[in-house]
């Protein structure tokens, strides 16, 4: 792996060598193009790769070894949080900046717990993204002022969000369940057995004190994680070998 510092080592280095390399990950090409243009208007940032899914992000990270991964949380397939977990398992020194349309603290806290170095919402001003990439590249954390306030509020006694009881893996299964995926589909996406996913589903329901998928979805709605009632399939526990 490359040395993660993106700072210049001396005048003998070329301008290109001193630029911070960025891997952009978002499933919408128009979003990636917009962020590419934004970052490359600077003299010190360059986009060296793009990916449209968590799986592609993990593969490209190993191929191009960027200084910073700028990745959307809501991706098809394994999702941004799971992709970040896998990248960090491969290279604990990886510097990942998550971004999302979600302004709910649930997503930012999950991203930071996974090991991401920062979180930016898509509603942030353009200069915020540029500043965040530079700080993360320098090995620092970036949390916007408003998001930091929200995170602080969550630490106040009496403030309770039931989703905080879920482990990182349970949260990823939860995300896929409320998106309408069957147990078999989740097992394929996360490379787990159906039995393991069914066990996670049971644990999620127990921790959230619910008995069916509809109630799980209502919790997601109450926490602002869904904009409207999604269409979803009724899941049933399947037999399988443990992962």
pLDDT, tens digit, for every residue of 157-184? 445 567 778 887 888 888 788 777 889 9
- What CATH number should be reported for the domain whose range is 162-222? 1.10.10.10
Backbone φ and ψ of 68, nearest 5°: -135, 140
Q: Which letter does DSSP use for residue 92 in this model?
A: T
Matching fold, domains 20-154 and 162-222: no
Question: What's the CA gap between 198 and 175, in Å, rounded?
Answer: 14
Provide the residue ranges of all domains of the chain, joining segments of one domain with +.
20-154, 162-222
Highest mean pLDDT of the ranges 41-50, 77-86, 101-110, 233-242: 41-50
3-state DSSP helix/strand/coil percent for the chain, to nearest 5?
45, 10, 40
Q: Where does the pLDDT of residue 89 fall: very low under 50, low under 70, confident under 90, or very high at 90 and above?
A: very high
Write the burial class of residue 147 (CB in 10 Å: 0-12 exposed, 13-18 middle, 19+ buried).
buried
Q: Which letter does DSSP use for residue 231 in this model?
A: P
Question: What's the CA gap between 40 and 46, in Å, rounded?
Answer: 5
Global pTM value? 0.68
Q: Are 114 and 171 in contact (CB under 8 A)?
A: no
Q: Are 48 and 66 in contact (CB under 8 A)?
A: yes
Q: Where does the pLDDT of residue 71 fall: very low under 50, low under 70, confident under 90, or very high at 90 and above?
A: very high
pLDDT of residue 163: 76
Q: Are 122 and 143 in contact (CB under 8 A)?
A: no
For the domain made up of 20-154, give the CATH fold.
Rossmann fold (3.40.50)
Q: Which of 102, 101, 136 is nearest to 117 (CA)?
A: 136
**SS in 3 state form for 143-154?**
ECHHHHHHHHHH
DSSP 143-184: E-HHHHHHHHHHTSTT---GGGGS-HHHHHHHHHHHTT--HH
Residue 221: strand, helix, or coil: helix
* Selected residue with higher pLDDT from 217 and 148: 217
């Amino acid at each position: 792996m490359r040395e993660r510092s993106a700072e210049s080592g001396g005048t003998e280095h070329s301008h290109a060598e001193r630029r911070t390399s960025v891997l952009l990950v978002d499933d919408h090409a128009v979003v990636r193009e917009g962020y590419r243009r934004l970052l490359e208007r600077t003299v010190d940032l360059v986009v060296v790769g793009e990916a449209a899914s968590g799986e592609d992000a993990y593969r490209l990270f190993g191929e191009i070894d960027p200084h910073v991964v700028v990745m959307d949380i809501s991706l098809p397939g394994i999702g941004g949080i799971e992709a970040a977990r896998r990248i960090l398992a491969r290279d604990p020194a990886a510097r990942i900046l998550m971004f999302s349309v979600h302004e709910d603290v649930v997503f930012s806290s999950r991203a930071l717990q996974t090991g991401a170095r920062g979180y930016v919402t898509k509603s942030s001003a353009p200069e915020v993204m540029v500043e965040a990439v530079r700080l993360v590249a320098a090995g620092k954390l970036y949390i916007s002022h408003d998001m930091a306030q929200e995170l602080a509020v969550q630490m106040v006694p009496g403030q309770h969000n039931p989703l905080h009881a879920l482990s990182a893996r349970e949260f990823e299964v939860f995300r896929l369940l409320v998106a309408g995926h069957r147990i078999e589909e989740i097992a394929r996406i996360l490379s787990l057995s159906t039995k393991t996913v069914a066990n996670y589903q049971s644990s999620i329901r127990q921790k959230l004190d619910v008995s069916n998928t509809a109630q799980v979805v209502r919790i997601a709605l109450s926490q602002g994680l869904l904009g409207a009632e999604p269409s979803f399939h009724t899941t049933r526990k399947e037999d399988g070998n443990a992962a």
